[in-house]
Structures are given as C-alpha cells and as structure tokens.
Amino acid sequence: MDIEQFTRLADELMERIPPPVLEGLNGGVTVRRKARRNPGDPEGVFILGEYITDPHLGCHVALYYGSFLALFEGEPDELWEDELYQTIKHELLHHLEARAGEYDLDVEDAVSLREMQEQAPPREPAGPPRKFRLKRPLRGQP
C-alpha cells in the first residue's frame, strides 16, 4: 500500500468516527511519511500513531505511514485497514481520556512497552561490526 492509498484509507476510516469523539481535536489527524521509534525500544517496535497535545498547535493525531510499512509491507490491504482503524481508535481514546483528565491508557501503554522491553533479547554492546560466517552453503553450492 502506498502513502496515497494509506491517506485515503485513513480519511475513509475517520468518517466512521462519531463527531462528538472528535470535539477538541483541533489539529485533526495527519499522516506522516516517516517511521517512528523511540530510542531504547526493542528491535522491531514501531509507533503506529501518536496523540499529541501542544500548547501552540493544539491536539492532533499523527499516523506514521513508515511504521506501518515497516511492519505490514506485503500484507493484504485488509490487515492494513484493520491495524489502521485500531490505531485511530486507540489514539482517539487517548484524546477522550485527556479531555476527561484521565490517563489510564497511557499507563497501559507504558506497561505494555515495559513488558516488550523485558522480553526482548539483550542488546549487544556497541563496538566494531561483527562478521558472521554462513553456517549453511549458499544456494547452488554443495
């Protein structure tokens, strides 16, 4: 799925959201081309979407096309649609909670990330790149 299809799909999915849910979301929903990761996150963990509040720009949701591409490239469009809709609903729940002064989903997200970090294999210390020898023959070799 290219970024234009992704953006159209996000627009279509946003039409399913009841207008009262969007109250106060003055910056709307934007699609960003890049992938988003946090330093220190386990390998393969990408941020698909983010609810952002800014004193100057207001409240908005960012969707990271590059993160979806990193995780779902080559997957059927139905999977992209399902993951995108789940992400939109998740970020809008952050919006609703923030409007109510509640932050339970932030806590839930932090717990999930901590669990992923604990389950991830330990990172190797930085240093010169390692060289690996193939343990199986290359295609066409005995």
Q: What are phi and psi of 95, to 5 degrees?
A: -60, -50
> How confident is the model over 11-39, as a mean pLDDT?
95
User: What pLDDT sits at residue 142?
Assistant: 40
pLDDT(30) > 80: yes
* Mean pLDDT, all residues of the chain: 86
Q: Domains of the chain by range and CATH?
A: 3-119 (3.30.2010.20)
**Where does the pLDDT of residue 62 fall: very low under 50, low under 70, confident under 90, or very high at 90 and above?**
very high
Q: Give the integer Cα–Cα distance in Å for 52 and 135.
A: 47
pLDDT(139) > 70: no
Is the model's pTM score more than 0.95? no
Assign 30 to helix, strand or coil.
strand
> How confident is the model over 76-89, as a mean pLDDT?
97
Report whether 21 contacts 96 (CB < 8 A): yes
> How confident is the model over 15-37, as a mean pLDDT?
96
